[in-house]
Structure 1
């Protein structure tokens, strides 16, 4: 073998080695970029999952319990106003009833109502927030004003209360078949 031939072979091997090294470095860079993208996507998915979990927990735990629905019999044996007593469910955080929306469906039609602080009484206070599990609030719903028809004997209605947290509580209203004694209250 000649000396120049062996130098050519060595230089060819060196060039192949450098090419392989360049390809290897490029693959490492591509893998690093892909890993960075995967970590970024995983981080954003984790943040979104945590937010969704917190919202779901609030919807489950921030419940509203309905205790009573009462109407006062007025002229012509009609009930123009409902009074619904509610309280926070077990484990609920504070619920501001002024942020609640009422969906009333009854014989006079359907309507959405937003109560103001004059229609909400929390344990005799002027506030509208249920803060502890022992708090109770009375919601006054003027049915006659809302749908132009008071409740009458044998009427059925439905009241759905949706809090600002998105929790819905529905209660069925059934008026007794006889309404007597104007001025008296009747449980619905």
Structure 2
């Protein structure tokens, strides 16, 4: 019952967020068309129970950038507009669609790529894939990214085991006010 209420709450909140941010989404799409020619970025990621889903974000890197974890991408591949989107976290707004579809949560472990074998192994051992991936979480507000798979998986496990309503909202608020940087290009 608790998870059904959480899912309904998150989907309603995601819909409200999409409605409120609709003008921003349209502006970013228009500017993104001029920036990269392809403003929306869709990539297959590992979801709950290791099921694939299509993560939706605004494109922050050139179209030719290889599909690798952010920490492995070249800083030169980030466009100027993309840099702004990353700093403001506006690039994450389309993930509200993933939340609305029930593929993601607002708070949970960041979804990784299927080619991140070491991270998948570490997360599997710790039961991290038993929950939906999230837009933000404990690792993101503490600037722990996917370049340290064991630490990230441990942090994800700690978050999952200790997640309360209070912590849920603290993680969201800290993300909105700019704590942490999550997955970043180094």
Global fold match (TM > 0.5): no
TM-score after normalising by structure 2: 0.27
- The structure with the greater share of residues assigned to helix is 2
Between Structure 1 and Structure 2, the one with more strand by share is: 1
Higher Rg of the two aligned structures: 1
Q: TM-score by structure 1 length?
A: 0.27
